[in-house]
């Protein structure tokens, strides 16, 4: 028996490198996202699509790749991951960087516009070509709100748009007309009330999260040059440490426990409505009959809702009691 297990294990070790590229090619059009390392906003804009694709983000020198970065990329490419998405136009990441990537054997796709607003709009259209029921919108000049918006877009797998703080940018209007969302979720205090009114006049329902935010940290009176390399490194480290903890406390601290139903999938909506009809608490075994979905499907849906911190389960006998943990805003 020991010899058989050992042989299987050895075969798996040899087969794994062959299987990994196949899995990547089937699951994602891209294997790596590259952004500039001297401007935090490009990294923030890339976050939801990194989660959407399940691929990493690599911030690089926008002018030229240094030898250490080239070595890392060469190693990465040898796993069979060679489709690279470069975010930003040639002003953001130079032609020289693209040529260096191609010389290593990478297939490069570039998505970028003249401004960060245009780039975010193009990314949304690239990854949601069939449209979507809700989009997330934040100010292009408020990095704190943009970071929160990216987190929301990651959690609910929705496109992330930026706009001018005082009015809706034309590229945002064009993208909204193509995506045809029912709801626009506004994030943070960096947006003007005029934007909400304009969206409503265009026929979109709106939902504003944390419209009024107080910043108590004093700003420096002497302008200092920002080292974005250190900032981006700090953000990566902070996300790695903070996300597990923030998921645990999300029930109490995220968006005042109120979630619009538009951000859920069709199946998730059906399950949530069934729970609401039972007063917010239900036995899991009752859900297949109420929704028409099979038991395995219900189990998967509940797991996704748990990840989004919308429900919690408690084992009772041979079944689970499912309880909603956030208020669901019904607009249908």
Q: How far is CA 35 from the centre of its chain?
A: 16
Tell me if 146 sits within 8 A of 139, measured CB to CB: yes
The CA distance from 143 to 231, in Å, is: 12
Residue ranges per domain, the chain?
1-112, 117-213, 259-329
Tell me if 74 sits within 8 A of 81, measured CB to CB: no
Longest distance between any two alpha carbons in the chain, whole Å: 72
pLDDT of residue 257: 61
Mean pLDDT confidence for 24-39: 77
Tell me if 174 sits within 8 A of 168, measured CB to CB: no
Could you tell me which of 261, 277, 246, 243 has the C-alpha nearest to residue 310?
A: 261
- pTM as predicted: 0.66
What is the DSSP-derived secondary structure letter of residue 140? T
Mean pLDDT confidence for 24-50: 83
Tell me if 235 sits within 8 A of 182, measured CB to CB: no
pLDDT of residue 108: 93
The CA distance from 238 to 231, in Å, is: 10
Q: What is the CATH number of domain 117-213?
A: 3.40.50
Tell me whether the CATH fold assigned to 1-112 matches the one assigned to 259-329. Answer: no
| Beta strands 281-283 and 319-324, pairing class | antiparallel
Q: Tens digits of per-residue pLDDT, 139-189? A: 988 888 899 999 999 998 999 999 998 889 999 999 999 999 999 999 987
Mean pLDDT of the chain, nearest integer: 81
Q: What is the CATH number of domain 1-112?
A: 3.40.50
Q: Tens digits of per-residue pLDDT, 296-329? A: 898 889 888 888 888 888 888 878 899 988 888 7
The tally of CA atoms less than 13 A away on the side-chain side of residue 226 is 10
259-329 CATH fold: Arc Repressor Mutant, subunit A (1.10.10)
Query: Which contiguous run of DSSP H or E holds residue 282?
Result: strand 281-283
The CA distance from 190 to 139, in Å, is: 5
Four-point Cα dihedral 120, 125, 131, 132, nearest 10: -20
């Amino acid at each position: 028996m020991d010899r058989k297990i050992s042989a299987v294990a050895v075969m798996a070790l040899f087969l794994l490198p062959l299987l990994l590229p196949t899995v990547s090619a089937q699951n994602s059009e891209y294997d790596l996202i590259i952004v500039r390392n001297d401007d935090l906003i490009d990294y923030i804009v890339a976050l939801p699509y990194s989660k959407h694709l399940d691929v990493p983000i690599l911030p690089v020198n926008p002018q030229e790749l240094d030898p250490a970065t080239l070595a890392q990329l060469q190693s990465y490419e040898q796993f069979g991951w060679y489709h690279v998405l470069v975010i930003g136009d040639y002003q953001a990441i130079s032609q020289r960087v693209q040529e260096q990537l191609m010389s290593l054997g990478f297939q490069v796709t570039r998505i970028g516009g003249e401004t960060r607003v245009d780039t975010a709009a193009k990314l949304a259209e690239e990854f949601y070509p069939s449209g979507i029921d809700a989009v997330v919108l934040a100010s292009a000049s408020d990095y704190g709100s943009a970071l929160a918006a990216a987190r929301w877009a990651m959690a609910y797998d929705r496109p992330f748009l930026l706009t001018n703080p005082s009015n809706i940018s034309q590229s945002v209007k064009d993208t909204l007309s193509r995506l045809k969302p029912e709801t626009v979720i506004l994030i943070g205090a960096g947006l003007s009330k005029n934007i909400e009114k304009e969206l409503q006049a265009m026929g979109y329902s709106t939902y504003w999260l944390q419209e009024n935010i107080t910043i108590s940290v004093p700003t420096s009176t002497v302008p200092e040059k920002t080292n974005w390399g250190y900032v981006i490194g700090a953000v990566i480290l902070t996300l790695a440490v903070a996300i597990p903890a923030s998921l645990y406390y999300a029930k109490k601290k995220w968006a005042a426990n109120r979630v619009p139903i538009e951000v859920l999938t069709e199946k998730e909506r059906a399950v949530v409505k069934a729970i609401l009809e039972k007063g917010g608490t239900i036995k899991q075994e009752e859900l297949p009959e109420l929704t028409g979905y099979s038991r395995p499907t219900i189990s998967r849906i509940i797991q996704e809702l748990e990840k989004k911190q919308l429900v919690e389960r408690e084992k009772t006998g041979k079944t689970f009691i499912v309880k909603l943990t956030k208020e669901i805003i019904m607009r249908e």
